[in-house]
């Protein structure tokens, strides 16, 4: 018969709880003994029953193991505290370093703007001059690049406009050609006005003079 999985919660039945405690206690003491023998580990186990009864196991002196535990705990706490202090000191050092860098950058900025130059030596002034010249070179290079890109863009737009203009001129020329052809047809069919003497016009005279 397959045993069901025990739920990890307090056993409500007092009898079942006491039976389970006895079994698990003996199993835990057995495991502690096996661990000390097989692995040569210093093991100390203390158990208090629900009624306050003490059960313990130690492969060495219980007091010795407890003292060793307390000393080790203090060492760990001191190490952690020292680590926290080191972290705090590192943060303070980083903050101090960052403040110094910001102050240095602010001074350099004022010097580049032409301020606070009274205490600068000739060498510092020459360095500032070279730095400004390098900055101007980069600025001009970037400006020329932008101008070149703008000129290229304008040329492309000009080319597109010329193509559109040529297409419009071609379309208008075709329309004017059709209009001229239509005017030629109307001119050929035109009958001139009659003369003042009541004649029938040029076309009538032409038809009258033709042989029958």
3-state secondary structure the chain: CCCCCCCCCCCCCHHHHHHHHHHHHHHHHHHHHHHHHHHCCCCEEEEECCCCCEEEEECCCHHHHHHHHHHHHHHHHHHHHHHHHHHHHHHHHHHHHHHHHHHHHHHHHHHHCCCCCCCCCHHHHHHHHHHHHHHHHHHHHHHHHHHHHHHHHHHHHHHHHHHHHHHHHHHHHHHHHHHHHHHHHHHHCCCCCCCCCCCCHHHHHHHHHCCC
Residues 6+ apart with CB under 8 A from 28: 45, 47
pLDDT in tens, the chain (212 residues): 556 677 788 888 989 999 999 999 999 999 999 999 999 999 999 999 988 899 999 988 889 999 988 888 888 888 777 767 667 777 777 777 888 778 777 777 777 777 777 777 888 888 888 888 888 888 899 999 999 999 999 999 999 999 988 888 888 877 777 666 666 555 554 445 545 444 444 444 444 455 55
Is residue 210 classed exposed, middle or buried when 0-12, 13-18 and 19+ CB atoms within 10 A define those classes? exposed
Give pLDDT, residue 91: 77
Name the phi and psi angles at 66, rounded to 5: -65, -40
Give pLDDT, residue 90: 75
Half-sphere exposure of 204 (CA within 13 A, CB side): 8
Cα 118 to Cα 116: distance, rounded to the nearest angstrom:
6
- Reference 51, options 83, 77, 18; nearest CA is 18
Give pLDDT, residue 198: 46
Task: Take residue 92 and report the two structure tokens written for it.
Answer: 């303070």
CB 201 within 8 A of CB 190: no
Give pLDDT, residue 145: 92
Give pLDDT, residue 193: 54
Give pLDDT, residue 135: 85
* Domain assignments of the chain as residue spans, ordered by start: 14-60
Domain spanning 14-60 has what CATH number?
3.40.1810.10
Give pLDDT, residue 73: 86
Give pLDDT, residue 87: 72
Cα 76 to Cα 73: distance, rounded to the nearest angstrom:
5
Cα 69 to Cα 96: distance, rounded to the nearest angstrom:
40
Cα 106 to its chain centre, rounded Å, is: 29
């Amino acid at each position: 018969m397959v045993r069901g999985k025990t739920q990890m919660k307090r056993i409500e039945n007092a009898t079942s709880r006491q039976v389970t405690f006895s079994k698990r206690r003996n199993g835990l003491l057995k495991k502690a003994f096996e661990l000390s023998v097989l692995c040569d580990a210093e093991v100390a186990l203390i158990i208090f029953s629900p009624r306050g009864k003490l059960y313990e196991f130690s492969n060495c002196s219980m007091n010795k193991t407890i003292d060793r535990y307390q000393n080790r705990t203090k060492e760990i706490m001191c190490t952690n505290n020292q680590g926290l202090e080191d972290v705090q000191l590192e943060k303070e050092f980083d903050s101090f370093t960052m403040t110094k860098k910001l102050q240095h950058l602010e001074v350099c900025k004022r010097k580049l703007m032409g301020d606070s130059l009274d205490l600068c030596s000739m060498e510092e002034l020459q360095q500032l001059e070279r730095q400004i010249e390098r900055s101007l070179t980069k600025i001009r290079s970037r400006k020329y690049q932008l101008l070149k890109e703008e000129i290229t863009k304008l040329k492309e737009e000009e080319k597109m406009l010329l193509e559109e203009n040529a297409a419009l001129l071609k379309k208008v020329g075709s329309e004017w050609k059709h209009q001229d052809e239509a005017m030629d047809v109307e001119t050929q069919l035109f009958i001139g006005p009659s003369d003042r003497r009541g004649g029938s016009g040029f076309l009538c005279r032409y038809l009258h003079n033709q042989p029958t």
